[in-house]
Amino acid sequence: MSNKKSTLDAPKNMVSKALDKSKNTLKSANDYALNTTEEIVSEGIIAAEQWQTVAKTALKGSLALAAKQQDIVFDTLTGIKNHILLSKKRMVQLIA
């Protein structure tokens, strides 16, 4: 047997090194993409939570305003009803 190195060993080593370097480069690119995506999603969640707080406050305020307006409407309707009943009594007394 011969102790000579094959002439194909050098190209094999070059290909092996190139593949290893490619794997490392792709892994770092993948890690960067993963980290960037996580940051974007986290920021999106934080922004959504802030808008949810704003919407909650707006709904509470609008519900309180709607309740006050509803009370005003019913008070007005009660006043009109009482006025009509009083007017009816007076009309009956005038005519009778």
Q: How confident is the model at residue 80 (pLDDT cuts 50, 70, 90)?
A: very high
Return d(Cα 10, Cα 49) in angstroms, integer. Answer: 59
Kindly report the backbone phi and psi dihedral angles of residue 5, in degrees, each rounded to the nearest multiple of 5, phi listed first: -75, 145
pTM tops 0.75: no
Could you read off the pLDDT of 5-61 as tens digits, one per residue?
666 677 788 888 889 999 999 999 999 999 999 999 999 999 999 999 999 988 888
